[in-house]
Structure 1
Amino acid sequence: MNTYTLRKWMIGVWLLVLFSAIGILFWYNSWVYLIPTPIPQNYKPVPVGSVLSIQGLTPEHKPTLLHFYNPDCPCSRFNLTHFRSLVKAYQSQVNFVVVVMSSKNYSIAAIQERIGLTLPVLFEKSVAEQCGVYSTPQAVLLTSEQQLFYRGNYNRSRYCTDEQTSYAKMALAKLVNHRVAGDFDALALKAYGCVLPVCQMPE
C-alpha cells in the first residue's frame, strides 16, 4: 500500500468515526429528551377541574395559558418557536403568561427579550406547586373561571414539529371552542424536560 492510498484510507476511517460519533450523539440527545422527568418525592398532583388562585395573576374574563419556562433549559429553548406561534394564533382569545423557573435572577425585560414577546412574566416559584408542575417547559391552561383545564407537554417532538402530538395547541382549541377537556395520551400528561428549579436533564 503506497503512501497516497494509506492516507486516503486513514481519512476515510477518520470520517467514518466522526460521522458515527455525530450520529450516536444525536441519537443520545433524542433519547434523553424522551425520558420522563422523575416525579419529586413530595409531589402532590392537582386534578383537572381544580380552581386555582395563582399569586401574581390577575383574573381575566378569558382563559390563561401559563408557560413554565427556564431560560437555561434546552427543552425550553427548543419549543420557543412553537410557543410564539401559539401566542400569535390565540392571543386575542387567551392570556399568555410566562412563569420563570430558574435559580438565576432575571429581569422581566431579559425574559421578554429571550422569548421575543412582550408578555406578563411571573417569578413566583410556588405557582409550579399550585399547578402540579415539576419540569420545564410545561403548559398550564386555565379557564376564565380559573379552573385547571390542561397541564402537560407542548409536543412529543423536541422541536414541537409533530402536529399530531401538538398537545397544548389541541387543548387551546378545545377550550376556546367551549369543548370539554379531552383525553390525552401518556406523553401529553407525563412531564418531560428539565427538573425544577434548576436545569438538570435526567441521566
Structure 2
Amino acid sequence: VIACFGSDKEIPGEIDSELGEGQVTGRVITSENLPVSGAVVTFSVRGTTYSATTPTNGRFSITLDKAARNDGFNVQITKTNFENANRAAVIKMHDLKLDLGDIPIYIVGHSQSVERTISGRVLNGFSYEGLSDSIVAIQDSLGRTVSATTDSKGQFVVTSRYFALGSSYQLSVYRSDYATRNDLTAQITAIENEADNTPMRLYPLFGGIKGVV
C-alpha cells in the first residue's frame, strides 16, 4: 500500500515554499492586565533576528522580511525586574500575519524557579507507530536549547528550570530521513506539561512522493 499526498493535500507541519513578508503583533501585560512599556520582544525567523521595545500601550508590531506558512519560532520577552517570558509562535495564515494576543510577564519572585517538564510522543505519520531516536528541541526562557531523544515507543520528556509558568514554547522535532516539524507548541501551566500537539507525526522523506510500501 502506498500512501501519498497530492497537490490538494497538506502534510502537517510541512513548510510552505512560498516566501513573503510577514507580521507579528501582540501586547505585553502585567498579571493585573496592565500594559507594560519598555519590554524587549525578540525572536529569529529564517536566520534573521527581530527585536522591538514596547511603548506605553504595551503593544508591538514587527514586520518579517521573509516568512512562510508553518514557520515556527519562540518569542522571548525581557524587562528589568521581571521574569523572562516566552510565547510559542507558528505562522498559519496565508497572509503570513500572526497576532500573539496578550502576553503576561511577572515581577521577579512571583513564581519560583523550579524544574518543569514538557512531554509527548512522536509517531511515524503513516504507520502510527512510535518513532524512536527522534530529537525534540526547545529553547527555554534563558535562551538555552534543551532537548530529549524519543524512546522505543516514541515518548519523550524535556526538562528545564526555565520553563516559565504561564509561558508557551515552540518545539522542533527532527529525525534523519524524516521531514522536520517546527509548528509544535507546549503551554506551561504546571510542573508536568504535555505538548499541545501530542501525539505528533513525522513523515518519511522519499523524494517527491512521501509514503510507505
TM-score interval w.r.t. the shorter chain? under 0.3
Higher relative contact order (CA 8 A, sep 6+): 1
Give the helix-richer structure, 1 or 2.
1
Q: Is the radius of gyration larger for structure 1 or structure 2?
A: 1
TM-score normalised to structure 1 length: 0.28
Structure holding more strand per residue: 2
